[in-house]
Amino acid sequence: MKKLVPDPPASTLLLLDPPLLSLQNPPGLEECDLLIRALTLTVEQTTSVLIDSGPSLMRDAMGMNIRLLCRMINALNDHKSARSAGQGGQR
């Protein structure tokens, strides 16, 4: 079945692939945990809004924000894992 209203063209924002992040002045393990929890909650809330919205530039921007938040969460987890391994797995 042919669509009556075509989908809008893809935004150039969605074509961007954000680089991996590295932390120059990484926080301590407890701060990492707090940041990871806050960023994860933000991703969950943004995803809920994103799912409920139709195609638009705002939706594309929310999608990019989720990508960037996930990159930051990964950088914090990598730092936390490396630091834990360096301490013999002890906190």
Instruction: Read off the pTM.
Output: 0.74
In angstroms, rounded to a whole number, what is the distance separating the alpha carbons of residues 39 and 37? 6
In angstroms, rounded to a whole number, what is the distance separating the alpha carbons of residues 46 and 32? 21
The pLDDT of residue 19 is 81
In this structure, of 4-8, 24-28, 63-67, the range with the lowest mean pLDDT score is: 4-8
Find out whether 15 and 69 touch, Cβ atoms under 8 Å.
no
The pLDDT of residue 45 is 93
Count the neighbouring beta carbons within 10 Å of the beta carbon of residue 69: 17
Is residue 36 within a helix (H) or strand (E), and if so which, with residue range?
helix 29-52
Nearest to 44 by CA among 16, 17, 73, 81: 73
Confidence of residue 60 (pLDDT cuts 50, 70, 90): confident
Provide, rounded to the nearest whole percent, the portion of the chain with pLDDT above 70. Answer: 80
Instruction: Flag whether pLDDT at 54 surpasses 90.
Output: no
